[in-house]
Amino acid sequence: MRKLLLTSASLGVLAMASTGTALGCDPDYTGVELTATTQTGPYIASALQLAAKGWEEKTCGKVKVVEFPWSELYPKIVTSLTSGEDAFDVIAFAPAWAPDFTDFLSEMPADMQKGADWEDIAPVYREQLMVWNGKILSQTMDGDAHTYSYRIDLFENADNQKAFKDKYGYDLAPPKTWKQYLDIAEYFNQPTNNLWGTAEAFRRGGQQFWFLFSHVAGYTSHPDNPGGMFFDPDTMDAQVNNPGWVRGLEEYIRASKLAPPNALNFSFGEVNAAFAGGQVAESIGWGDTGVIGADPKQSKVAGSVGSASLPGSDEIWNYKTKKWDKFDHVVQTSFMAFGGWQAAVPASSTKQEAAWNYIQYLSSPAVSGQAAITGGTGVNPYRISHTTNLDLWSKIFSEREAKEYLGAQKDAVTAKNIALDMRLPGYFSYTEVLEIELSKALAGEVTPQQALDSVAEQWNKLTDEFGRDKQLAAYRASMGLPQK
Partner 1 sequence: MTTRNDPIKHFFIWPALIIVLVISIFPLIYSLTTSFMSMRLVPPMPARFVGFGNYADLLQNPRFWHVTGTTTLIAFISVGLQYVIGLSVALALNSRVPGEGIFRVSFLLPMLVAPVAAALIARQVLNPTMGPLNELMSALGFPNLPFLTQTSWALGSIIAVEVWQWTPFVILMLLAGLQTLPDDVYEAAALENATPWQQFRDITFPMLLPISVAVVFIRLIESYKIIDTVFVMTGGGPGISTETLTLFAYQEGFKKFNLGYTSALSFLFLIVITVIGLVYLAILKPYLEKHK
DSSP track, 247-316: HHHHHHHHHHHTS-TTGGG--HHHHHHHHHTT-EEEEEE-THHHHHHH-TTT-SSTT-EEEEPPPBEEEE
425 binds partner 1 (CB under 8 A): yes
Position among 157, 440, 450, 453 found at the interface with partner 1 (CB under 8 A): 440
Contact 204, 431 (CB under 8 A): no
Among 40, 83, 133, 194, binds partner 1 (CB under 8 A): 194
Residue 38, C-beta contacts closer than 8 angstroms, at least 6 positions apart: 44, 45, 48, 65, 67, 68, 73, 91, 92, 93, 341
79 is a site residue for partner 1 (CB under 8 A)? yes
Spatial distance between the Cα atoms of 45 and 36, rounded to a whole number of angstroms? 9
Give the dihedral of Cα atoms 152, 158, 164, 167; nearest 10 deg.
Answer: 180
- Give least dist CB 192 to partner 1, A: 11
Stretch that binds partner 1, among 21-29, 51-59, 354-362, 435-443 (CB under 8 A): 435-443
Choice between 274 and 302, CB closer to partner 1? 274
Asked if 427 is part of the footprint of partner 1 (rule: CB under 8 A), the reply reads yes
Contact letters for partner 1, residues 139-178 (x by CB under 8 A): ----------------------------------------
Q: Does 74 bind partner 1 (CB under 8 A)?
A: yes
Nearer to partner 1, 113 or 194 (CB): 194
Cβ–Cβ under 8 Å, residues 282 and 198: yes
Residues 52-71 within binding reach of partner 1 (CB under 8 A): 71
| Bridging pattern class, strands 280-285 and 90-93 | unpaired
Judged by CB under 8 A, the residue of 445, 461, 464, 469 near partner 1 is: 445
Asked whether the CA dihedral 326, 332, 338, 340 is positive or negative, the reply is negative
The C-alpha atoms of residue 409 and residue 391 are separated, in whole angstroms, by 16
Query: Is 190 one of the binding residues for partner 1 (CB under 8 A)?
Result: no
Report the distance separating Cα 10 and Cα 4, nearest Å. 10
In 363-467, which residue ranges form alpha helices assigned H by DSSP?
Answer: 365-373, 390-393, 399-414, 427-442, 448-466
Stretch that binds partner 1, among 7-15, 288-296, 322-330, 428-436 (CB under 8 A): 428-436
Minimum CB–partner distance for residue 252 and partner 1 (Å)? 15
Distance CA 19, CA 358 (A): 22
Q: Which of 95, 206, 218, 290 binds partner 1 (CB under 8 A)?
A: 206
The binder of partner 1 chosen from 12, 75, 123, 223 (CB under 8 A): 75
Minimal distance, residue 69 CB to partner 1, in Å: 10
- Of 78-86, 178-186, 355-363, 367-375, the window that binds partner 1 (rule: CB under 8 A) is 78-86
CB of 194 to partner 1, least distance (A): 8
Which of 429, 449, 450, 460 touches partner 1 (CB under 8 A)? 429
Looking at residues 248 to 277 of the shown chain, list those that interact with partner 1 (rule: CB under 8 A).
260-265, 274, 277
Q: Among residues 462 and 481, whose Cβ is nearest to partner 1? A: 462
Q: Long-range contacts: 185-188, Cβ < 8 Å, 24+? A: 185/255, 185/258, 185/259, 185/281, 185/282, 186/258, 187/160, 187/163, 187/281, 188/154, 188/160, 188/280, 188/281, 188/282
# chain residues binding partner 1, by CB under 8 A: 36
Q: Which is nearer to partner 1, 24 or 261 (CB)?
A: 261
CA separation for the pair 484, 471 (Å, rounded) = 12
- Choose, by CB under 8 A, the member of 428, 461, 464, 469 that binds partner 1: 428
- Verify binding: residue 84, partner 1, rule CB under 8 A: no
Question: What is the smallest separation between the CB atom of 419 and partner 1, expressed in angstroms?
Answer: 23
Q: Which of 61, 95, 99, 369 binds partner 1 (CB under 8 A)?
A: 99
Q: Pick one of 347, 436, 473, 481: the residue that binds partner 1 (CB under 8 A).
A: 436
**100 sits near partner 1 (criterion: CB under 8 A):** yes
10 Å CB burial of residue 352 (0-12, 13-18, 19+) is middle
Do residues 379 and 372 make contact, with C-beta atoms less than 8 angstroms apart?
yes
83 near partner 1, judged by CB under 8 A: no
- Stretch in the footprint of partner 1 (CB under 8 A) among 136-144, 176-184, 414-422, 423-431: 423-431
Give first-to-last CA distance, the chain, whole Å. 75
Contact between 441 and 215 (Cβ < 8 Å) = no
Q: How far is the CB of 341 from partner 1 (least distance, A)?
A: 18
Which of the residues 448 through 477 are near partner 1 (CB under 8 A)?
Answer: 466, 470
Query: Which of 248, 221, 250 has the alpha carbon at shortest distance from 318?
Result: 221
CA distances from 62 to 50, 88, 444 (A): 13, 13, 55
Q: Using the rule CB under 8 A, is 78 a contact of partner 1? A: yes
122 φ/ψ angles, rounded to the nearest 5 degrees:
-55, 135
**Is 200 a residue that touches partner 1 (CB under 8 A)?**
no
In the complex, the residues that contact partner 1 under the rule CB under 8 A are 71, 74-75, 78-79, 82, 99-100, 194, 203-206, 260-265, 274, 277, 279, 425-429, 432, 436, 439-440, 442-443, 445, 466, 470
